[in-house]
Chains A and B, each alone.
Chain A
């Protein structure tokens, strides 16, 4: 009778002894935040958390109800994770998601780095929103853009969509390095867009000196149509036509002025051009 009772006790407790481990993972968690994984079972096991960039491994002693705490700094990468619990020959898996933390960082693309003044919609700024762990944040976040040059500035706040916020802007009328700043909360990223003079405007030449061997001509200060000085080194072509043929000098603007010495023989016509922009013509010599 005692033998029968012992056998009945064994049969009654067997389901508990062979019960498979149970894995409970939150369906989503934020990057950088601690997370608790609940496990039910007995015996020894190994818990794997497989993420987009790395794997976490924990040895666990299953004692009916066990909690495994994953530290925040271990869960930095957002995306799809898989939790796997190996216990004996059996394994349990569960998918969970780690979402990005709150927006904290920006990557800012500003194009172009150099642009002529007074052009519409030529500057574009594009900000990509990231959290503190460089996870791309798809949730909307307000990004403030400001473009300033020479004391004048324009700013605009744009809410990011799918992690991207962008603006386009016209270049200012004044040449100089424009500060293009994108701000997200406490974070600012600065880029410089060099705004440079446009094509020369009202290009004019005059005679500086005239002698037997030739004539020295120079331009008035060369400026674009909004009054910015055209940079030094820009080519200004002087062309002289006289009885001896045609002479050309590709002079460089130096200190805002281009100058050339031409070997005039008698009557001569002198013209000036910079790129495709033509200037005035001069007649030197006797007759007009």
Chain B
């Protein structure tokens, strides 16, 4: 009896491990256009690229490697660190031989979810439905030498053996240019801009403290990812600080505090933001679109776009941001879009776009 129980548990363990490691992949032929899309992306979800590729029609003229890179991302972009979370499909058009399926994909990443909508053409290939995959055009940068001789700032701090009166390097002088508290969806949002008015680079952050009617501090928060933290000399960044579940009517004042620290930094890369315009996307939402152009010679892996919107009087009325899921190759334009609240679209008189960048090849 003692051995029987031990054997039973051993068998159960093996079965559970096998069940846990088994992929939920399927390469069974799809009987419907929607089924083909679902099966393909289900395999993408489990990173079973071979099975996913089996749903791609031969007429697509895309090899398995390119197909995998299309879905997995390239050049250490945000997409390479993402996980496909949900797949929603809807047939837009269908006949006996082909169909058009709108596919809405939601990826989860460390910086929040990002969404992708693809209208996929599905064709009947023998007896099964298969996806006619439109491969991404892989941008290739022609061989060239791009001279980069921008500044780089390094810092030597005071040493332990220095006289106590010896100066340390001064922290950069930064200034809050504007601050506008607004109420939005049951919370308070502090919007504004901060400038590095010094001649050296600065790591900046802005903190806000809400003070209630009786003069007590009720909440404190600092800008996190809706700002550029490293500012070069005379660079201006928007900031946005969110306080959920707070009301302006309950407050007496808001205390703002900019902080700065001298950090080593490089003046490159320069990222141009081209053809910015506010328009409606295919879902009818208001977005600010444009193109990013990396003017340096190195790949920018994860671009982060910050948009500041002003009303006719020049007051900041909204700050929004968005990560681009593609890397910025040198000298290669890349489109972006950031959301703008529909209710504010009519008030927007002008806007300003700045770009943060995260690159694996750079230390800062």
- The chain A residues found within 8 Å of chain B, CB to CB, are 107-114, 128, 189, 191-192, 196-197, 199-200, 230-236, 244-252, 254, 260-263, 274-276
Report yes or no: B234 in contact with A275, Cβ–Cβ below 8 A. yes
User: A217 CA to B295 CA in the complex, in Å?
Assistant: 15
| In the bound complex, CA of A86 to CA of B364 (Å) | 67
CA distance A178 to B66 in the complex (A): 60
Tell whether, in the assembled complex, residue A107 and residue B233 are in contact, meaning their CB atoms are under 8 Å apart: no
Can you spell out 7 A-B residue pairs with CB atoms less than 8 angstroms apart? A107-B163, A231-B233, A232-B267, A245-B277, A247-B273, A249-B272, A275-B234
Given the known interface contacts A248-B353, A252-B232, the answer about A114 and B165 at a Cβ–Cβ threshold of 8 Å is no
Would you call the interface of chain B mostly helix, strand, loop, or mixed? loop
| A254 contact set on B, CB distance < 8 A | 149-151
Inter-chain contact A113/B167, CB cutoff 8 Å: yes
B177 close to A (CB within 8 Å): yes
Cα separation A191 to B234 with both chains bound (whole Å): 27
**Bound-state Cα–Cα, A244 to B291, Å:** 11
Q: Report Cα–Cα, A202/B282, bound state, in Å.
A: 45
List residues of chain A with CB within 8 A of the CB of B151: 232-233, 252, 254
A252 touches B150 (CB 8 A): yes
Please tell me the number of chain B residues within 8 Å of chain A, measured between CB atoms: 40
B168 closest partner in A (C-beta) = A113
Closest Cβ–Cβ distance, residue A260 to chain B (whole Å): 7
Residues of A within 8 A of B271 (CB): 250
Tell me, yes or no, whether B290 is within 8 Å of chain A by CB: yes
CB atoms of A197 and B275 under 8 A apart: no
Q: Which residues of A contact B198 (CB under 8 A)?
A: 114, 196
* Alpha-carbon gap, A274 to B197, bound state (A): 10
Q: Counting chain A CB atoms within 10 Å of each CB, which of B165, B236, B295 scores highest?
A: B165
CB-nearest residue of chain B relative to A255? B149
Which residues on B sit within 8 Å (CB–CB) of A191?
166-167
A248 near B276 (CB under 8 angstroms)?
yes
Q: B101 CB to closest chain A CB, in angstroms? A: 32
Chain A, residue nearest B152 (CB): A233
A263 cross-chain contacts in B, Cβ below 8 A? 274-275
Q: Distance (Å) between the CB of A6 and the closest chain B CB?
A: 72
User: Which residues of chain A are within 8 angstroms of B201 by Cβ–Cβ distance?
Assistant: 233
Q: Mark B144-160, 1 if CB is under 8 A from A, else 0.
A: 00000111010000000
Nearest CB on A from B62, distance (A):
31
Tell me the nearest residue of chain B to A244, going by C-beta.
B275
| B334-364 to A contact mask, C-beta < 8 Å, 1/0 | 0000000000000000011110000000000
Closest 8 CB pairs of A and B: A275-B234, A245-B277, A233-B151, A107-B165, A234-B233, A247-B274, A113-B167, A235-B235
B85 to chain A, nearest CB (A): 33
Give Cα distance in the complex from A261 to B151, angstroms: 20
B317 at the interface (CB under 8 A from A): no
Q: Are A250 and B235 within 8 A (Cβ)?
A: yes
Chain B nearest Cβ from A110, distance in angstroms: 6
User: Bound state CA distance, A229 and B149, in angstroms?
Assistant: 19
Return chain B residues, CB-CB under 8 Å to A233: 150-151, 153, 201, 232-233, 267
- Contact call A199/B167, Cβ cutoff below 8 A: no
- Any A CB within 8 A of the CB of B199: yes
B residues lining the A interface (CB < 8 Å) = 149-151, 153, 163-170, 177, 195, 197-201, 232-236, 267-268, 270-277, 290, 295, 351-354
**Chain A residue contacts of B167, Cβ below 8 A:** 109-113, 191-192
Chain A hits for B354, CB < 8 A: 250
Q: Whole-angstrom distance from the CB of B196 to the nearest CB of chain A?
A: 8
- Contact assessment for A245 and B232 in the assembled complex, using a CB-CB cutoff below 8 Å: no
A199 to chain B, nearest CB (A): 7
**Interface hub of B271, B275, B295, B352 (most chain A Cβ within 10 A):** B275
In whole angstroms, what is the CA distance A41 to B171 when docked? 65
**List of A residues within 8 angstroms of B270 by Cβ:** 249-252
A157 and B270 alpha carbons, distance in the complex (Å): 50
> Which residues of chain B are near A196, meaning CB under 8 Å?
198-199
Known: A114-B199, A236-B234. 19 other contacts (CB 8 A): A107-B163, A109-B165, A109-B167, A113-B169, A196-B198, A197-B199, A230-B199, A233-B151, A233-B232, A235-B232, A245-B276, A245-B277, A248-B276, A250-B235, A252-B151, A252-B232, A252-B270, A275-B236, A276-B195
Nearest chain A CB to B149's CB is how many angstroms away?
7
Report the separation of the CA atoms of residues A275 and B202 in the bound assembly, to the nearest whole angstrom: 14
Q: How far is the CB of A171 from chain B (nearest CB, A)?
A: 13
Least distance between A187 CB and chain B CB atoms (Å) = 12
Closest Cβ neighbor of B158 among chain A residues: A113
A233 to B265, CA, bound (A): 10
Q: How long is the Cα–Cα vector from A233 to B233 in the complex, in angstroms?
A: 7
Instruction: Give the residue name and chain of the B residue nearest to A247 (CB).
Output: B274
Complex Cα distance, B290 from A249, in Å, reads: 13
| Chain A residues with CB under 8 A of B177 | 276
Shortest distance from the beta carbon of B126 to any chain A beta carbon, whole Å: 46
Decide if A252 touches B267 in the complex (CB within 8 Å): yes
On chain B, the residues within 8 Å of A248 by CB distance are 272-273, 276, 352-353
Chain B residue nearest to A196 in the complex (CB): B199
Rounded to whole angstroms, the CA-CA distance of A252 and B267 in the bound complex is 7
Instruction: Check A246–B277 contact: CB distance below 8 A.
Output: yes
A107, A109, A250, A276 — most chain B CB neighbours (10 Å):
A250
Q: Are B165 and A231 in contact (CB under 8 A)?
A: no
Chain A residues with CB below 8 A from B353, complex form: 248
Tell me which residues across on chain B come within 8 A of A276, comparing CB atoms: 177, 195, 236
Nearest residue (CB) in B for A275 is: B234
Q: A269 to nearest B CB, angstroms?
A: 13
